């Protein structure tokens, strides 16, 4: 059954019959349809376990760019599925729940950026991958947290740059590269929640622990970190460093992979400043469930579509990023 029939039947979140072995069924459907499941480290552990590939934003884009699958299922958020569609316009790109948005991407509407660009015609635009396809069409180079520093440094020192949309990542990049990029005033609601207070509390309780932080965190939090990096870089650091205990200031989904790679080490998620929850979770990433993944493979819907012109224009800025990242790896 495809999208039209699904809609006709009024299915939004079709219940799965009891007794269905979701993991086996998902893998069987993938084989039958030549589909690949990509998942971000922030998704639920059961999604990460069933995915063919788990990675950070950069690795997911690289993986999509080289896949031979006919169908890509992006267990992540909407901008990630759009990135896959831009890279693979001929493939079917599915997102298990179309409501999986991103507060950071939402903080930069394309029309506002277009207006700002017009007011600053001599500036280049560097945009974080956490942006809509429409924003990417206005961008010179896209970056992820894995390659942002190198991409910025690939510009001449005196290049005038607008960096959008994450003010925290932008601030951090200005500090480490010595640039003075103009920063868009956006942020990720999850990383914005990490506080100096909670980290100091945890450091007092576990003085031997090292603090790992994602650059989407505020500058005060980053100042307390022993290591700042993208999700993939944080994972690598935790694996290679001899410290036995880490305080982790990023979305808590990453603890699943950390614990898998380093079973002897202890990882403590930094809780938000307020509320009873013990960890910070991205509600958008958590919208990906095994049931929705299964249904989306069965019905090949929800499907992410983009017009050809948007794909072509947005692709230039992503290709430029992939090119610079490839050179970094050489
Ligand atoms: P990375 O995957 O680049 O670490 O970014 C984290 C993030 O916020 C994804 O939405
Ligand atoms: Fe967006 Fe933040 Fe969620 Fe990442 S963690 S998808 S930046 S809202």
Which ligand is nearest to the Cα of residue 77, counting in written order?
2
Strand partners, 37: 73
Domains of the chain: 3-100+285-312 (3.40.50.10800), 104-189+320-329 (3.40.50.10800), 191-269 (3.40.50.10800)
Ligand 2 centroid distance, CA of 299 (Å): 27
What pLDDT does 324 receive? 87
- Asked if residues 224 and 199 have their Cβ atoms less than 8 Å apart, the reply is yes
Mean pLDDT of 20-31: 95
Which DSSP state fits 13? S
Share of the chain above pLDDT 70, in %: 94
Instruction: Give the position, in ligand 1's atom list, of the atom nearest the Cα of 145.
Output: 3
Helix (H, G, I), strand (E, B) or coil at 25: helix
The Cα 23–Cα 108 span in angstroms is 37
103 close to ligand 1 (CB < 6 Angstrom): no
Query: With a 6 A CB cut-off, is 250 part of the ligand 1 pocket?
Result: no
Q: Identify which has the larger pLDDT, 329 or 231.
A: 231
Per-residue confidence (pLDDT) for residue 115, from 0 to 100: 98
DSSP 8-class letter at 76: S
Q: How many CB atoms lie within 10 A of CB 157?
A: 8
User: How, if at all, do strands 141-143 and 124-128 pair?
Assistant: parallel
Handedness of CA 240, 51, 31, 80 (dihedral sign): negative
Ligand 1 atom nearest 285 alpha carbon = 10
CB 303 within 8 A of CB 94: yes
Q: Higher model confidence: residue 20 or residue 148?
A: 148
Q: Whose CA is nearest to atom 3 of ligand 2?
A: 282
pLDDT at 310 over 60: yes
> How many residues appear in the chain?
330
In tens, the pLDDT along 248-300 reads: 999 999 999 999 999 999 999 998 887 767 668 999 999 999 999 999 999 99
Q: Report the separation in Å between the CA atom of 164 and the middle of ligand 1, taken as the mean of its atom positions.
A: 15
Q: Is 56 in the pocket of ligand 1 (CB under 6 A)?
A: yes
- Name the closest-CA residue to atom 5, ligand 2: 282
Of 18-22, 77-81, 164-168, 234-238, the poorest mean pLDDT is in 18-22
């Amino acid at each position: 059954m495809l999208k039209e029939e699904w809609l006709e039947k009024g299915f939004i979140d079709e219940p799965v019959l009891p007794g269905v072995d979701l993991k086996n069924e998902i893998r069987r459907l993938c084989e039958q349809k030549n589909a690949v499941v990509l998942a971000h480290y922030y998704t639920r552990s059961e999604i990460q376990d069933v995915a063919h590939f788990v990675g950070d934003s950069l690795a997911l884009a690289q993986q999509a760019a080289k896949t031979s699958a006919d169908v890509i299922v992006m267990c992540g958020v909407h901008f990630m599925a759009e990135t896959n569609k831009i890279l693979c316009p001929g493939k079917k790109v599915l997102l298990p729940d179309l409501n999986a948005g991103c507060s950071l991407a939402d903080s930069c509407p394309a029309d506002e950026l277009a207006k700002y660009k017009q007011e600053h015609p001599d500036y280049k635009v560097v945009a974080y991958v956490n942006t809509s396809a429409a924003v990417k069409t206005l961008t010179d180079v896209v970056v992820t947290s894995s390659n942002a520093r190198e991409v910025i440094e690939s510009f001449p020192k005196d290049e005038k740059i607008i960096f959008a949309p994450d003010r925290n990542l932008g601030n951090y990049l200005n500090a480490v590269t010595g640039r003075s990029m103009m920063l868009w005033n956006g942020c990720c609601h999850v990383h914005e929640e990490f506080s100096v207070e909670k980290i100091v509390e945890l450091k007092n309780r576990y003085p031997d622990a090292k603090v790992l932080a994602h650059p989407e965190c505020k500058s005060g939090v980053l100042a307390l970190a022993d290591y700042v990096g993208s999700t993939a870089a944080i994972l690598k650091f935790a694996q290679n460093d001899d410290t036995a205990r880490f305080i982790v200031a990023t979305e808590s989904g990453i603890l699943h992979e950390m614990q898998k790679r380093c079973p002897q080490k202890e990882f403590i998620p930094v809780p938000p400043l307020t509320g009873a929850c013990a960890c910070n979770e991205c509600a958008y990433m958590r919208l990906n469930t095994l049931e929705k993944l299964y249904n989306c493979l069965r019905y090949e819907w929800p499907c992410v579509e983009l017009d050809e012109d948007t794909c072509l224009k947005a692709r230039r800025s992503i290709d430029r990023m992939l090119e610079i990242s490839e050179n970094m790896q050489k």
